[in-house]
Amino acid sequence: MKNNLRILLAIASLALAALACQAVAGGSANTAVPADTVAPDVTTLPLPTQPETSSSNSDVLLDDDFSPGRTQWGTGTDKDSAVEYVDNALNFQVFTKSFIVWTTPNDQDYQNIHMEVTVINNGTDSTTAFGFFCDKQYPIEDSRYYFAITPGGEYAIAKSALAVDDAVLSGNGQWAKSNAIAKNAASYHIGADCGNGKLTLYVDGKPIDSVEDSTYTTGRIALFAWSSKDAKTTNVSFDDFKMTKLP
């Protein structure tokens, strides 16, 4: 594993009770999860290098096509998962069932943001979940929002907090299905608004759901992939990430 990078590996709790400077930590908790997933553990690695931000537009906070030489996101491989730069994209593989892996580009806090990324489906299970974290708190990093979808058409906008179960804010408090999410597509373009007291999920340019919550107002961001309890293949690649300021 690279010493200047960070990956967080967890079970379905999406909960992390570790300081950023620690090399390894562990724990578990209950969480709201897709119907066919069960609960998880945690590992942390050191922080990544500072990001390469490129923009002629002052509204763009981070723009990354994951091309060679732009390796600011955390990478590493172990028995449970792998996050590596492959074919000009950031590839996530999870080898353990009911396991989540996420990575951050830096240790900066962001406020009132819109994120977009293309997720390439490398033959992954229809129950694999993937998406964004935003407003991830530090050092209490198990407090944050997350946006997730699956190739099976499920989605959730949810909130994690210290020592309590995750709360799904969308879909009447549970994972829901949307006909606007194409089933088992080759790729998905996911977007999320996180700020101004509102959380909105987009897939392929279509608004999927929107909720209001102002528990967190600033924090770190991450990309993640999450295997199900019956996982056979969990393999997705992220490409063309962009983060901009919300109006």
Question: Nearest to residue 245, comparing CAs of 80, 74, 132, 115?
Answer: 115
- Residue 232, pLDDT > 60, answer yes
Over range 179-190, report the average pLDDT: 98
pLDDT of residue 169: 98
Greater confidence (231 vs 12) lies with: 231
Sign of CA dihedral 121, 125, 126, 130: negative
What's the pLDDT at 2?
36
Q: Quick one: tokens of 89?
A: 């994209």
Q: Is the pLDDT of residue 172 over 80?
A: yes
Out of 59-73, 146-160, 173-187, pick the least confident. Answer: 59-73
Express each pLDDT in 93-134 by its tens digit.
Answer: 999 999 999 999 999 999 999 999 999 999 999 999 999 999
For position 23, what pLDDT does the model report? 19
Confidence of residue 221 (pLDDT cuts 50, 70, 90): very high
Q: Between 195 and 43, name the one with better pLDDT.
A: 195
- The rounded mean pLDDT for the chain is 82
Q: What is the pLDDT of residue 38?
A: 41
Share of the chain above pLDDT 90, in %: 70
pTM reported for the whole predicted model: 0.81
Give the per-residue pLDDT at 9: 41
Give the DSSP letter string of 117-150: EEEEE-S--TT-EEEEEEEE-SSSTT-EEEEEE-
Q: What is the pLDDT of residues 23-61, one digit of tens each?
A: 122 223 333 445 454 444 333 333 444 433 333 456 999
pLDDT band at 233 (very low <50, low <70, confident <90, very high): very high
Instruction: Give the H or E element holding residue 224.
Output: strand 220-226
Domains and their CATH numbers in the chain: 7-245 (2.60.120.560)
167 φ/ψ angles, rounded to the nearest 5 degrees: -115, 120
